[in-house]
């Protein structure tokens, strides 16, 4: 689903539950935000091709955090695209993503997904992709969780800092959030932004009165 020009919310089906990586592209460069579960590489490739972006245009992967449903196809992407791909993530989740430490929530995985992170991101940092992206460090769900604010379209890519159901923001997903205090403070950070639409990785897009919805959630 197209959020705005060059911003596409992908739909990947994992045994009936839908997740939403985001694809940005302008000219020849495509940027992927989050990569799906292990085993979804072909689904991802097809989802990209469906919107006219072939895998060889992918130059940047940004990971909102270390969870396995976000980093799952990274090894295959790296294998397929080699060193052409630069991977961005927050410093605090980098060692997990690189397999130096067991994943916080999937430590039981026998073969942890090993990726690489080329560039670490910090709170407030701007990236030049997709009409400028502002990085918002939003810990709680994981220590290095980031959200992304797309300045041009006023879109908040919330990752797993919030979930949504049928277009309504549901706030913090308590069962998967080890540090609720941090997560509540992270939610308050969104109040500084003028947001037209929010994309939650689990739940998809919300675009009705989202600033009011976030204000209400942050007061709970």
**Site for Zn ion, rule CB under 5 A:** 67, 160
Closest residue to Zn ion in the complex (CB): 67
Which of residues 30 and 113 has its CB atom nearest to Zn ion in the complex?
Answer: 113
Distances (CA, A) of 68 to 48, 54, 109: 20, 24, 10
Which of residues 30 and 156 has its CB atom nearest to Zn ion in the complex?
Answer: 156
Which of residues 25 and 96 has its CB atom nearest to Zn ion in the complex?
Answer: 96
- Given a contact cutoff of 8 angstroms between Cβ atoms, the answer to whether 126 and 134 are in contact is yes
Which of residues 39 and 178 has its CB atom nearest to Zn ion in the complex?
Answer: 178
Least separation, in Å, of the C-beta of 64 and Zn ion?
8
Which of residues 178 and 208 has its CB atom nearest to Zn ion in the complex?
Answer: 178
Least separation, in Å, of the C-beta of 72 and Zn ion?
11
Least separation, in Å, of the C-beta of 194 and Zn ion?
26
* CA 64 from centre of chain: 4
Would you give the DSSP letter of residue 90? E
Rounded Cα gap, residues 75 and 21, in angstroms: 16
Per-position DSSP letters for 14-61, written without gaps between them: ETTEEE--EEEEETTEEEEE---STT-HHHHHHHHHHTT--GGGEEEE
Least separation, in Å, of the C-beta of 132 and Zn ion?
25
Looking at the chain, the number of H-run helices and the number of E-run strands are 6, 17
Least separation, in Å, of the C-beta of 110 and Zn ion?
20
Which of residues 80 and 91 has its CB atom nearest to Zn ion in the complex?
Answer: 91
Phi and psi at 156, nearest 5°, equal -100, 120
Least separation, in Å, of the C-beta of 140 and Zn ion?
11
Rounded Cα gap, residues 126 and 148, in angstroms: 10
């Amino acid at each position: 689903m197209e959020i705005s020009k060059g911003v596409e919310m992908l739909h990947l089906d994992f045994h009936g539950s839908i997740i939403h990586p985001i694809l940005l592209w302008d000219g020849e460069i495509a940027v992927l935000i989050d990569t799906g579960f292990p085993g979804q590489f072909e689904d991802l490739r097809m989802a990209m091709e469906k919107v006219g972006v072939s895998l060889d245009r992918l130059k940047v992967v940004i990971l909102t955090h270390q969870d396995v449903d976000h980093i799952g196809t990274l090894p295959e992407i790296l294998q397929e695209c080699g060193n052409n791909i630069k991977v961005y993530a927050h410093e605090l989740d980098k060692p997990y993503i690189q397999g130096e430490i067991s994943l916080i929530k999937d430590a039981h995985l026998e073969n942890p997904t090993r990726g690489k992170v080329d560039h670490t991101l910090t709170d407030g940092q701007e990236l030049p992709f997709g009409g400028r992206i502002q990085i918002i460090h939003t810990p709680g769900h994981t220590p290095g969780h980031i959200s992304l604010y797309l300045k041009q379209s006023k879109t908040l890519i919330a990752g797993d800092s919030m979930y949504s159901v049928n277009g309504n923001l549901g706030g913090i997903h308590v069962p998967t959030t080890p540090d609720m205090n941090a997560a509540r403070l992270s939610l308050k950070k969104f109040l500084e932004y003028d947001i037209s639409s929010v994309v939650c990785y689990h739940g998809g897009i919300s675009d009705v009165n989202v600033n009011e919805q976030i204000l209400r959630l942050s007061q709970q």
